Amino acid sequence: MKALLVVDVQNDFCPGGALGAKDGNKIIPKINNLIQEFDLVLASRDWHPEETIHFDRWPVHCVRGTEGAEFHPELAKRNITQVFDKGTGNLDDGYSAFEATNENLNEFLKSHDVDEVYICGLTTEYCVKSTAMDALKNGYKTFLFTDAIAPVNAEPGDEEKALDELQEAGVIFLTSKIVLR
């Protein structure tokens, strides 16, 4: 069974948001097309409290209950089966969707007989990367839609470095034009 995992397509990671990826909104039509191709679609959210050590490093973003934490209005939300909330504690960065606290992603995938995880969303160097690395560690064949992700580019070169690390670790790169079934 294949699952599409849509990482953090939230207002604060899109242009105009607190930590906006420059092309964060441009990937949404591609993600919506991908959503049509999968029988199982899951999504993660950064779901921070007002105060967390995470904000020592980053501008305040994705505080639960605020508009910045909402999924982008153009995302085809109705087709998402389960949302995984992460970064919910005060000491918790919660980069990876496998760190979600409302529901355990690994157990959810196992219970749905998922063996292949397909990843898209925001942001390339942080939550997308951590989630893909954890998917590999947990034994899933892991795919990344490289035209349906976008970097926050905190430091120049971060995006390229992240992509190199992912490919070296064994993540398989695809583009969203590939028809999966």
Task: Catalogue the active-site residues.
Answer: 8, 86, 127
Residue selected from 2, 37, 58, 79 as contacting ligand VGL according to rule CB under 6 A: 58
Backbone CA torsion sign across 30, 103, 87, 139: negative
The answer to whether 122 contacts ligand VGL (rule: CB under 6 A) is: yes
What's the longest Cα–Cα distance across the chain?
44
Residues sharing a CB contact under 8 Å with residue 157, sequence separation 6 or more, in sequence order: none
The phi and psi torsions of 10 (rounded to 5 degrees) equal -115, 155
Residue selected from 8, 85, 99, 134 as contacting ligand VGL according to rule CB under 6 A: 8
Choose the stretch contacting ligand VGL; rule: CB under 6 A; options: 76-84, 111-119, 122-130, 135-143. 122-130
Choose the stretch contacting ligand VGL; rule: CB under 6 A; options: 103-111, 120-128, 132-140, 157-165. 120-128
Give the shortest CB-37-to-ligand VGL separation in angstroms: 23
Burial 88-108 (b: 16+ CB within 10 A, else e): beeebbbbbbbbbeeeebbeb
| Residue number, 117 or 152, with CB nearest to ligand VGL | 152
Rounded CA-CA distance 42/20 in Å is 22
Residues lying near ligand VGL in the complex (CB under 6 A) are found at: 8, 13, 19, 46, 58, 122-123, 126-127, 152
